[in-house]
């Protein structure tokens, strides 16, 4: 093997490693760098993970690197990043694996904040499926964290980086750590990892629970200035009550995550299969809660025409609320799920803004309001405490408009939407939001012509909204047309939507999908 001092320490882009042509560096981790590459023989894109030169002479790191390939290569599952081969070329140790186009969960959470219940449960189901397969194979991941959950453009979640994995099947155990030495990431590390004790699949379940807390609450349960201070909290400190941070969440989901984060491993779910079974039941509960009379089809032939009109108006109202939420929030992760819920207890009595704790930054204040759901005072606090934060103020007003519409305070909602319209003279996206809101308001007032006028104005600006929102608008208008036993001729051509958690995509002639900025 070539001496490590002779190995290049710079970017390996454009280098060839055996059958793999490295194209560009995608990222750098603790002991490896990852490159986008082309496998020349199969003409396919792959990710090539290269062991950093300074670790090649260290047998512990070399074994750990090889152990990652061994652990992951034996797992064949849609929610696990597939390893193709392990190799060595010119003294460079590398692993070739599936290239996942998208971003990791940490990046997604930084951009989107706390997720709604449906988006979070979609990720939970997929990660649990991956952990179930790994656990059945006797593999403990030992480093479950948002950075190691990759999200594809189709909304698939894939567990990556088995670099710390440990095989536990009889006769196959490979232990790369010394007694008392911990491995993992402190923010998500299980108590037994902190103590350097033997691990089983329930350690991954604890880390998975911490990850779920982060997804739903917008931050990990424990924070500190040093890794040690965080690790100690996993041992001795109870996490903040999830229900205090997210009162909108179903109680069974909260209870499941709290069990996953139990300090004693015997109090956690025995394996990921138990989590999957619980999630299935919780999904039924959420779906039942989301089913409201307003969206059920008209089936009773004995009802009078006036009753039919009333139900059609309710259907239109529900559709328009959904449309406005999608337009204003502009993502599948923040606020949309709350709007879709049955409209009963989430409109709590309004508190005074001075009772809302002030955060250090406007962004932190916005994230705090996001975790409070429909707490009007929390959203007003963003504007009150940080009046010069233009982006956060606009988002807070968008949420306030939804709150006002849900509580039939149309004049207050109209004031915000008219302001969007005025301020949108130089900002087509802001103007589009204002038009969408005013279309909803006029429809609720029974002014069909005025509502249609706003919709037509919005149509001219539709490309200022993401392709995903364009399709949602098309579907909403189609539903409204069917509810009125008529038809709508508006077409939004050449727009495509990748379901789940993916970013909006647009098809270009002769090219594949690409991510929109």
From the annotation, which residues make up the binding site for ATP?
Answer: 49
For the question of residue 143 being annotated catalytic, the response is yes
CB 46 within 8 A of CB 37: yes
Binding residue ranges: 49
CB 164 within 8 A of CB 193: no
CA distance 436 to 454: 7
Active-site entry in 143, 161, 204, 248: 143
CA distance 124 to 286: 15
CA distance 374 to 321: 14
Say if strands 102-104 and 139-140 run parallel, antiparallel, or are unpaired: unpaired
CA distance 192 to 188: 12
The token duo for 142 is 């030992």
Strand partners, 272: none
Residue with tokens 């204040």: 365
Find, among 314, 259, 261, 290, the residue nearest to 117 by Cα: 290
**474: enclosing H helix or E strand:** helix 467-483
Geometric angle at alpha carbon 352, from 114 and 345, rounded to 5°: 55
Strand partners, 473: none
- For residue 261, give Cα distances in angstroms to 197, 241, 264: 17, 12, 9
Instruction: Provide the 8-state DSSP code for 378.
Output: H
CB 420 within 8 A of CB 428: no
Please count the helices (runs of H) and the strands (runs of E) in the chain: 18, 14
- For residue 94, give Cα distances in angstroms to 71, 91, 205, 316, 414: 15, 10, 29, 57, 59
Give the CB-side neighbour count of residue 234, counting CA atoms within 13 A: 26
The token duo for 125 is 């189901």
CA distance 199 to 201: 7
CB 189 within 8 A of CB 231: yes
- End-to-end Cα spacing for the chain: 44
Catalytic residue positions? 143
């Amino acid at each position: 093997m070539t001496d490590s001092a002779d190995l290049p320490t710079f970017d390996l882009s454009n280098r060839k490693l055996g059958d793999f042509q490295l194209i560009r560096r995608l990222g750098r981790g603790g002991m490896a760098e990852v490159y986008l590459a082309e496998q020349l023989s199969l003409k396919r894109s792959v990710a090539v993970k290269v062991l950093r030169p300074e670790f090649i002479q260290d047998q512990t790191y070399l074994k750990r690197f090889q152990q990652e390939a061994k652990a992951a290569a034996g797992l064949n599952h849609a929610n696990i990043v597939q390893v193709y081969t392990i190799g060595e070329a010119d003294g460079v140790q590398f692993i070739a694996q599936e290239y996942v186009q998208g971003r990791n969960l940490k990046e997604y959470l930084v951009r989107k904040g706390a997720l709604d219940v449906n988006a979070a449960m979609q990720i939970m189901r997929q990660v649990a499926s991956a952990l179930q397969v790994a656990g059945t194979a006797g593999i403990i991941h030992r480093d479950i964290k948002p950075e190691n959950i990759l999200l594809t453009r189709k909304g698939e979640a894939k567990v990556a980086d088995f670099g710390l994995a440990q095989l536990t099947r009889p006769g196959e155990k490979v232990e790369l750590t010394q007694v008392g030495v911990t491995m993992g990431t402190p923010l998500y590390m299980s108590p037994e990892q902190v103590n350097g004790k033997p691990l089983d699949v329930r350690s991954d379940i604890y880390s998975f629970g911490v990850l779920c807390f982060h997804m739903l609450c917008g931050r990990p349960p424990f924070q500190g200035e040093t890794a040690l201070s965080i690790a100690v909290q996993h041992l001795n400190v109870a996490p903040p009550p999830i229900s205090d941070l997210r009162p909108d969440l179903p109680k069974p989901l909260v209870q499941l995550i709290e069990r996953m984060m139990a300090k004693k491993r015997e109090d956690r779910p025995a394996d990921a299969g138990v989590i999957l079974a619980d999630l299935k039941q919780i999904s039924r509960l959420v779906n039942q809660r989301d089913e409201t009379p307003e969206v059920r089809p008209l089936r009773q032939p004995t009802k009078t025409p006036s009753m039919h009109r009333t139900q059609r108006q309710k259907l239109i109202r529900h559709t328009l609320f959904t449309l406005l939420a999608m337009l204003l929030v502009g993502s599948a992760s923040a606020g949309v799920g709350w709007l879709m819920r049955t409209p009963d207890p989430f409109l709590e009595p309004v508190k005074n803004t001075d009772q809302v704790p002030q955060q250090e930054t406007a962004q932190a204040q916005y994230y705090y309001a996001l975790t409070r759901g429909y707490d009007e005072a929390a959203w007003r606090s963003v504007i009150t405490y940080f009046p010069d934060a233009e982006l956060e103020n606009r988002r807070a007003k968008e949420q306030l408009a939804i709150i006002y519409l849900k509580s039939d305070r149309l004049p207050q909602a109209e004031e915000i939407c008219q302001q969007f319209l005025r301020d949108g003279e130089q900002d087509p996206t802001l103007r589009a939001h204002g038009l969408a809101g005013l279309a909803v308001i006029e429809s609720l007032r029974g002014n069909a012509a005025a509502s249609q006028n706003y919709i037509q104005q919005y149509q001219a600006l539709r490309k200022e909204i993401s392709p995903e929102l364009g399709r949602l608008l098309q579907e909403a208008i189609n539903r409204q047309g069917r509810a009125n036993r008529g038809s709508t001729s508006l077409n939004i051509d050449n727009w495509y939507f990748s379901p789940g958690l993916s970013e909006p995509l647009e098809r270009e002639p002769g090219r594949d999908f690409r991510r929109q900025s």
